[in-house]
Chains A and B, each alone.
Chain A
Amino acid sequence: MEIVKQIKYEPAGVKGGYTDRILSIDLGRRQITIRDLPPDFKNKYIGGRGYAMKLMWDGTSRKTHYDSPENILVMASGPLGNEPGFPGTGKSIVGTISPLTDTFIDSNVGGHFGPLLKLAGFDALAVSGIAQQDVVVAVDGDSGTISIMAAPAYDKAIDEGALSFGQGLLADFNSGEYSDSLAAVTTGKGASNARFGIINSLYYERKRKRVRCKQAGRGGTGTVMRTKRLRGIVVRSSRSKANGNNAVDKEGVRQAGARLREVILEADPKQLHLSAWGTTILSEYMNKFHLFPINNYQYGQSAESSKVFAGVFLDRYFSQNTPDGCYYGCNLACSKSVESVELKSGPHAGQTVSVDGPEYETVGAVSCMGIFDPHFVLEYNWYCDEYGLDTISAGVTIGFFMECFERGFLTAEDTGYELTFGGMEAADRLLHEIANARGFGRVAGQGVARGKKWVAEKYAARKGISRDDVQTELNKFAMEVKGLEFSMYVTKESLAQQGGYGFALKGPQHDESWLIFIDQVHKELPTFEGKANALKWFPLIRTWFNATGLCKLPWIDVRNPEAASTAEPAKNLPTLAYYVDYLNATTGGHKTLQDILDDSERLYILQKLINLRHGKGTRASDQIPLRAMGPAFFNEYESRAEYYDGWLREQLGDTELPASPQQRHELLIQKRIEAYQKLCDIVYEKKGFTTDGIPTRETVAKFGLMDEQAGQLLHQFGI
């Protein structure tokens, strides 16, 4: 490969979880810079998501959009990533200004990239600028070189695919042999043509003797990567992964890790059993409680859902008896895969491929299109990965357009074919059109927020009616907030999770809070106060995981039996105590859980400030579509009329129900809208925000974030 720019460097050692160095690469100027971080940087911004946000706050402005040269693509693990002695330490964060939300997005991804980047000497990698040609970046800790290289040309099919190109890179950089000392991130041509491009994290798994991949799926990080003409990043380090963080108290790390592993070993097989089923097990539970996002979230349950339950994948597809952790030392090992799938459609029809997945979210995304075919799920999964597309946003977007078609807002003249729920052929065709920017795919690749504007304009012109009126109707079922498509849970019956999605700073992704069960099923949050407290606590602790390089699943999806005797079992505090011990043993600190929450709140407020700067930080940006609150249309109400009437009866007390079903539906919707607004008021107060959802000066100052930019920004909002 032709080297465009190269520097030599001496990889910093890791000490207490940190290298205290960031690698900055400006592709436009061909500059490679190593920055030593001041000691207080890590204390204030922790790592991962925190580092990405701080770099974005300082290095970009309101005028920065996803395709601006100054936009930064940050990849960072965190102080607790890269420790095989503790489960779930392979996570890293990709942060950037999103093509979907036009504000900061972060997406976490498993695999070896973050750990190897740290071993190669860097806590974070920040890429800015736009290259003049397609390039690959290589960070080689073994040879002590950092290089920008002209992207290699293999053949067209390989070069356009995220998986195939990544496999080529990993072999190329190691004399044709795969090795677990290397990892790569890549994306495919779909990420050039859609706003919801992903970044694939590829690594070699010795047990399976093949390259596997995980995805930073949300918010269009891959689209930013392609816009920068960055085709891939390869990182190499042969340093020992054992005690990779050079912990201050190695025995403390060992003990904390052993305790967590024991809980997973004992409890997971008795609970969700993620180690056997992966996250696909959730489909069955979601369907039972009307939470499966069928037909664009219209219905939470279907008689057909069982065709895509976990048992189907376990019996017919998943390779068995092989541990599937995405990083060393994780005995939850939920990263399932299917080794041999013959593709039936698309440009690779007839080819046999390995599929990493499916995860629950991909199964949910397919149900969102009204499809319940396990083979379709696998093909959809593989093609999205290869094209570099987010399975969630692609599924929600196609589902939205299917509903537009069925409700008459779109015609076959607009789309080129019948686009209805359950139509596998049409869904498949649209996916390939999105990836290749062909036909209606050019519209669909823009996502739901922009797609609904296109439909409104078309329909209004066709009917000679007001575009705003059409837009209002479309807003009811366009499942996006802040420009990001919803992840795969129906929130109609959980006010707390409506807030979980509406207040999520990146948009409606459940990694900030997932409160559906404790609210809707377990009834542990009966009051607005209780919901608001949960909507403050859970996003803070979950943000901390994203700042430290950790996977949340060993904490949140394996309940420690000791939690049952605590006041709030859902917080799983006995397991969180292991994490606090692990943190202190690694860094040599003396933090409490409250200290961790305070650190996390600083990051939360910083992200809120970035959102405010980019026009996504006020109450208006936290509003959710009607369908997220309840049955947006009468057909949805009718499908569970008895349940909804019961709910209404509870709300009205002695007052009689309206006589007609239509009136009852209208009243129910009115009650749901009122409840959401009341929730906004209470949550903002709890978080130290104004009623418009803006942090007060006291809140910003409390966390040491009142710099000149923050002062001016708040001033603009009259604060």
Chain B
Amino acid sequence: MAQKMTVSIKFLGMQRVVTKKDFINIPLRKEMRVSDVLELVRNLYPDLHLDAGVIFPTVNQEKASLDKLLRANDIISFLPPISGG
């Protein structure tokens, strides 16, 4: 049986507390972009604070734009601003 292609959304800090999960896997749709994943996460977890402008999407630990196309096994995070105290 062919394995389903997925991407992972990794939750850190407060996001993990709100979602009670370290990560979730979602099926990779054709032409799926970071913005699609963001929308999906917002719908799944309306209590998460994912306001545009104060979240920084990363794909595989590299900064990514919202319109970046995703590939199978990509790991997506939505980071808060971090400036190091």
Contacts and interface: CB of A to CB of B under 8 A. Distances in A.
* A complexed with B: yes
Interface of A: 267, 269-273, 276-277, 279, 281-282, 284-285, 288-289, 310-311, 360, 489, 510-511, 514, 516-518, 521-523, 552-553, 556-557, 559, 561, 563-565, 569-570, 572
A521 B83 contact: no
What are the nearest 6 A-B pairs in CB distance? A514-B84, A564-B53, A270-B49, A271-B80, A559-B81, A556-B83
14 contacts: A270-B51, A284-B12, A311-B16, A489-B84, A510-B84, A517-B81, A517-B83, A522-B63, A556-B83, A557-B84, A564-B53, A564-B54, A569-B53, A570-B83
B72 interface: no
Given A273-B13, A288-B61, A360 B49 contact: no
A284 B85 contact: no
Given A521-B58, A523-B62, A270 B82 contact: no
Interface of B: 10, 12-14, 16-17, 49, 51-54, 56, 58, 61-63, 77, 79-85
B60 to A, nearest CB: 10
Nearest to B48: A270
Interface of A (DSSP majority class) = helix
A516 B63 CA distance: 13
Contacts of B61: 288-289, 521
A10 B35 CA distance: 65
A553 B82 CA distance: 11
A285 B63 CA distance: 14
Contacts of A569: 53, 81
Nearest to A276: B14
A561 B79 contact: no
Nearest to B84: A514
A273 B14 CA distance: 7
A285 B79 contact: yes
Nearest to B14: A273
Contacts of B84: 282, 489, 510, 514, 516-517, 556-557
A517 B13 contact: no
- Of B10, B62, B80, most buried by chain A (CB within 10 Å of CB) is B80
Given A559-B81, A561-B53, 13 more contacts: A271-B80, A272-B13, A281-B13, A282-B84, A284-B12, A310-B13, A514-B84, A518-B83, A521-B56, A556-B83, A556-B85, A559-B83, A561-B51
A188 to B, nearest CB: 25
B61 to A, nearest CB: 6
A510 B49 contact: no
A438 B36 CA distance: 61
B54 A267 contact: yes
B66 to A, nearest CB: 13
Contacts of B82: 272, 282, 285, 517, 557
A615 B80 CA distance: 41
